[in-house]
């Protein structure tokens, strides 16, 4: 390019980069509306045409602009110019979108009004492009039509009529068997079995529902203890947080009262080896303790039954005190709940007062904000006037910027040429070294090599190590190791069998011992049960503590106060 053309190209490139946001608004809208079927790769073409029409049309003139447009694709330019120079689009959304980047008054005076002034002349250019497209579609090149001539072909002889083949007769097919349309017998049998199973399941369900609570039938001698437990376990809705403590104490009471009355039956249960050994060790430990107790009695030691009875009574008193303490905690929790409800209602009233104060403060702040906005708008108008005055001197700054950019481009081009020259020299040096290396590798590969090597299995490797041996010796040693390993495995297997037999005999002995102990414990439990039936005594219902009565009275008062407060609210 000459100097003038190079300057024009560089100015156009710099302008497209500088005003890229404004150009993107128009081109993106074009691709959405009229250019839906245009290629995305042609986007830069439309950006350049839009830049020339908006910013360079005054300098270029209509004649040079028309020459540039006509040198491109006619259909694409006609479609884009008709979209861009639409007066309605220029006055509405294009102006609004450009005003988001620059001042609206500046946009209207410097860009929109010149485009509207050029719009009639550009419309003539669009009509010329339209006529060119219509002439292109109507004109059809006429060409001479080739006249076909008949081929001189040999007339074929008439073919003889073939003798018709006899029509084959199909064999008669056997009829469809009647079993095809009848259901199989197996299906009927399955339905009968299914019905019988359902009937049997319903009978079992009815029997289970009738006898479902049979295992939970309470004995009459346990009534007193259950009455005492139910007296303390009147669990209302407010005591749900203390439910784990109640369950722990009740569980301890039930275990203490009823585990002594359980009758151990000698029921045959299939046990594994661990269970048998564990139970045998338990019975062995109990037997040793009993022998030790008898030996102490023979030596003159006292019977600890009185101490155990006294300990049982004291534990019962401690349990009653714990239950009373838990009841007090429950009532205190209920009282705290009532007080919290009253406090919540007071907080609601205070929040209402605070909300009224906040509304008044908000109204005052909105008034101050409105005054501040009016002041800011006034300052903004003054700033816009200053900006409009500053844009008048923008042309001189633009010329200086273009000269500065041209100087930078020339310097960059010179640096690029120098860097390209250095890169070419480095690449040539690398290729030369690579070629020399390839020649060396090929020379080494061309040397003859010994491909066959004879191996003697009776010789060692000759590496100078103490543990060297030949392959034959290695095989012999491996064979000896395998024989020794096989003998060790046989010995280990015999040892495991002996240990297993000894363990089975030990388990059988333990089972016999467990059966004897279970029988003795069952008889002892039965005797103890009969003795307790004879010595059963009537229990007394515990009296309520004074603290519990006082707390209940306070709860009733707080509840009445809360209801009155609720009615007032």
Predicted local distance difference test score (pLDDT) of residue 281: 85
CA 141 – CA 361 distance, rounded (Å) = 86
**In a domain? residue 12:** yes
Predicted local distance difference test score (pLDDT) of residue 367: 84
**In a domain? residue 89:** yes
Predicted local distance difference test score (pLDDT) of residue 286: 82
Convert the pLDDT of each residue in 171-187 to its tens digit. 788 888 888 888 888 88
Predicted local distance difference test score (pLDDT) of residue 497: 93
**Which domain does 50 fall in, by range?**
3-135
* Cβ contacts of 337 within 8 Å, gap of 6 or more: 238
CA 77 – CA 388 distance, rounded (Å) = 34
**Which of 135, 162, 178 is the endpoint of a domain?**
135
Predicted local distance difference test score (pLDDT) of residue 269: 57
CA 53 – CA 47 distance, rounded (Å) = 10
- Would you call 27 exposed, middle or buried from its count of C-beta atoms within 10 A (0-12, 13-18, 19+)? buried
DSSP assignment, residue 180? Answer: G
**In a domain? residue 482:** no
Convert the pLDDT of each residue in 389-444 to its tens digit. 777 677 777 788 888 888 888 888 888 888 888 888 888 888 888 888 888 888 88
Q: Which residue has the tokens 């030369």?
A: 432
CB atoms inside a 10 Å sphere around CB 79: 20
Helices (H), 269-393: 273-298, 305-391
Q: Which residue has the tokens 């360079």?
A: 56
Cα angle value 310/315/317 (rounded, 5°): 100
Which tokens hold the place of 162?
A: 């073939």
Predicted local distance difference test score (pLDDT) of residue 498: 92
Q: pTM here?
A: 0.29
The answer to whether 315 and 534 have CB atoms below 8 angstroms apart is no
**Which of 135, 168, 202 is the endpoint of a domain?**
135
**In a domain? residue 21:** yes
**In a domain? residue 74:** yes
**In a domain? residue 247:** no
**In a domain? residue 320:** yes
Q: Residue 37: name the closest of 79, 68, 65, 99 by CA.
A: 79
Which tokens hold the place of 29?
A: 């809208």
- Rg from Cα positions in the chain: 56
Residues of the chain with pLDDT under 70: 136-143, 210-271, 301-305, 392, 447-454, 536-545, 569
Domains contained in the chain, number:
2
Q: Residue 382: name the closest of 67, 9, 103 by CA.
A: 103
Torsion of CA 394, 396, 397, 401, to 10 degrees: 130
Predicted local distance difference test score (pLDDT) of residue 137: 46
CA 475 – CA 466 distance, rounded (Å) = 18
**Which of 83, 109, 135 is the endpoint of a domain?**
135
- Would you call 65 exposed, middle or buried from its count of C-beta atoms within 10 A (0-12, 13-18, 19+)? buried
**In a domain? residue 512:** no
Q: Residue 279: name the closest of 553, 515, 542 by CA.
A: 515
């Amino acid at each position: 390019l000459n100097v003038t053309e190079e300057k024009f190209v560089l100015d156009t490139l710099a302008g497209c980069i500088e005003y890229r946001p404004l150009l993107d608004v128009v081109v993106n809208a074009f691709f959405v509306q009229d250019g839906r079927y245009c290629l995305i790769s042609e986007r830069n073409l439309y950006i350049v045409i839009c830049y020339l029409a908006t910013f360079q049309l005054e300098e270029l003139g209509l004649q040079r602009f028309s020459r540039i447009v006509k040198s491109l694709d006619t259909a694409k330019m006609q479609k884009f110019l008709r979209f861009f120079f639409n007066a309605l689009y220029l006055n509405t959304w294009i102006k609004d979108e450009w005003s988001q980047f620059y001042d609206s008054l500046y946009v209207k005076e410097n860009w929109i009004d010149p485009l509207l002034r050029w719009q009639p002349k550009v419309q003539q250019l669009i009509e010329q492009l339209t006529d060119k497209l219509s002439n292109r579609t109507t004109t059809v090149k006429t060409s001479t039509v080739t006249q076909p001539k008949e081929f001189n072909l040999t007339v074929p002889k008439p073919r003889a009529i073939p003798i018709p083949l006899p029509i084959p007769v199909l064999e008669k097919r056997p009829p469809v068997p009647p079993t095809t349309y009848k259901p199989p017998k197996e299906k009927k049998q399955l339905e009968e079995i299914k019905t019988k199973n359902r009937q049997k399941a319903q009978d079992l369900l009815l029997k289970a529902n009738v006898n479902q609570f049979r295992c939970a039938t309470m004995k009459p001698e346990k009534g007193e203890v259950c009455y005492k437990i139910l007296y303390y376990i009147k669990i209302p809705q407010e005591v749900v947080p203390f439910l784990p403590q109640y369950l722990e104490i009740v569980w301890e009471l039930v275990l203490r009262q009823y585990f002594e009355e359980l009758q151990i039956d000698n029921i045959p249960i299939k046990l594994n080896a661990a269970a048998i050994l564990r139970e045998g060790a338990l019975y062995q430990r109990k037997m040793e303790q009993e022998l030790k107790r008898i030996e102490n009695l023979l030596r003159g030691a006292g019977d600890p039954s009185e101490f155990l009875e006294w300990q049982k009574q004291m534990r019962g008193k401690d349990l009653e005190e714990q239950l009373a303490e838990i009841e007090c905690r429950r009532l205190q929790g209920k009282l705290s709940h009532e007080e919290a409800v009253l406090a919540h209602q007071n907080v609601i009233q205070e929040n209402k007062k605070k909300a009224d104060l906040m509304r008044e403060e908000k109204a005052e702040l909105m008034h101050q904000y409105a005054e501040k906005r009016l002041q800011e708008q006034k300052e903004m108008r003054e700033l816009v006037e200053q900006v409009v005055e500053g844009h008048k001197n923008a042309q001189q700054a633009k010329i200086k910027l273009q000269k500065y950019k041209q100087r930078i481009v020339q310097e960059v081009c010179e640096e690029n040429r120098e860097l390209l020259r250095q890169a070419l020299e480095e690449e040539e040096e690398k290729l030369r070294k690579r070629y020399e290396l390839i020649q060396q590798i090929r020379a080494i590969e061309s040397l003859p090599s010994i491909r066959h090597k004879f191996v003697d299995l009776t010789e060692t490797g000759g590496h100078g190590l103490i543990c060297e041996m030949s392959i034959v010796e290695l095989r012999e040693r491996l064979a000896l190791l395998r024989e020794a390993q096989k003998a060790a495995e046989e010995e280990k297997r015999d040892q495991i069998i002996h240990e297993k037999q000894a363990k089975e005999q030990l388990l059988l002995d333990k089972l016999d011992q467990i059966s004897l102990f279970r029988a003795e414990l069952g008889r002892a439990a039965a005797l103890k049960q009969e003795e307790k039936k004879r010595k059963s005594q009537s229990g007394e219902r515990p009296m309520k503590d004074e603290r519990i009565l006082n707390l209940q009275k306070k709860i009733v008062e707080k509840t009445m106060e809360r209801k009155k407060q609720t009615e007032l609210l």
